[in-house]
């Protein structure tokens, strides 16, 4: 069932988001956080896929209407983000999703890709009262700090072994730091490149790895949001 663009609360005002409901009408809530390109077609497609899998899914527009047309523009938009505002945006989105009659889980999951992967981790760190599970796809944002000692939410992480944006050594160091702090972490490393899940980027997309990561993601969220 295709989703729709909605307006949701954001920092005392409103912002756009893309919401999709499962065919049965209700399901656990999942926030989807965009890559550095913005709330583009691929992100909306992922939201629709979560709805097809039985979730009520919402992607807030963290760029508030802007989309990047080139890597340089995407980098500028990412680095220009006010991280404190993003944290509030994500809290408002999670609270809005949890409060919908279509959402059956008391807390929601959050899934992010690239820039959104790091922001998903950050949302779980900052808002464990609203977020029950985090899925990080090859997350990166140099200005977003994860503090393992503060972490209380279980994490599923997907990383690529041929990733220059999120090098495997850095990914492993983060996973080890979280585990050392007592965080429940399930981490997988795929023989793929950065953004291997994005089927709209054929130069990096890996159908096998994307399917496996999706299967693991759905199983993880169904268990954590039951």
Contact of 194 with 139, CB cutoff 8 Å = no
Contact of 192 with 166, CB cutoff 8 Å = no
Q: How confident is the model at residue 1 (pLDDT cuts 50, 70, 90)?
A: low
* pLDDT for the residue numbered 105: 97
Question: What is the spatial distance between Cα 148 and Cα 146, in angstroms, rounded to a whole number?
Answer: 6
Query: What is the CB neighbour count within 10 angstroms for residue 129?
Result: 11
The H-assigned helical ranges of the chain are 41-52, 71-80, 83-99, 115-126, 168-180, 207-224
* pLDDT for the residue numbered 173: 95
For residue 96, pLDDT beyond 70: yes
Find all residues with CB under 8 Å of 69, minimum gap 6, and list them.
Answer: none
What is 4-224's CATH superfamily? Answer: Alpha/Beta hydrolase fold, catalytic domain (3.40.50.1820)
What percent of the chain is modeled with pLDDT above 90?
83
């Amino acid at each position: 069932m295709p989703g729709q663009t909605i307006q949701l609360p954001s920092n005392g005002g409103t912002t756009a988001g893309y919401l999709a409901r499962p065919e049965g009408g209700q399901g656990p809530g999942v926030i989807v956080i965009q890559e550095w390109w913005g709330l583009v077609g691929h992100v909306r497609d992922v939201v629709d896929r979560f709805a097809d899998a039985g979730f009520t899914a919402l992607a807030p527009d963290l760029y508030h209407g802007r989309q990047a047309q080139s890597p340089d523009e995407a980098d500028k938009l990412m680095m220009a983000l006010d991280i404190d505002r993003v944290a509030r945006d994500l809290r408002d989105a999670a609270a809005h999703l949890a409060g919908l009659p279509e959402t059956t889980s008391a807390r929601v999951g959050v899934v992010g890709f690239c820039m959104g992967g790091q922001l998903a981790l950050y949302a779980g760190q900052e808002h464990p009262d609203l977020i029950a599970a985090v899925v990080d796809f090859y997350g990166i944002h140099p200005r977003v700090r994860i503090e393992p000692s503060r972490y209380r939410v279980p994490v599923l992480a997907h990383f690529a072994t041929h990733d220059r944006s999120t090098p495997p050594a850095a990914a492993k160091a983060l996973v080890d730091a979280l585990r050392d702090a007592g965080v429940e972490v399930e981490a997988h490393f795929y023989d793929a490149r950065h953004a291997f899940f994005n089927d709209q980027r054929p130069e990096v997309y890996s159908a096998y790895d994307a399917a496996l990561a999706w299967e693991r993601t759905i199983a993880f969220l169904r268990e954590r949001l039951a």
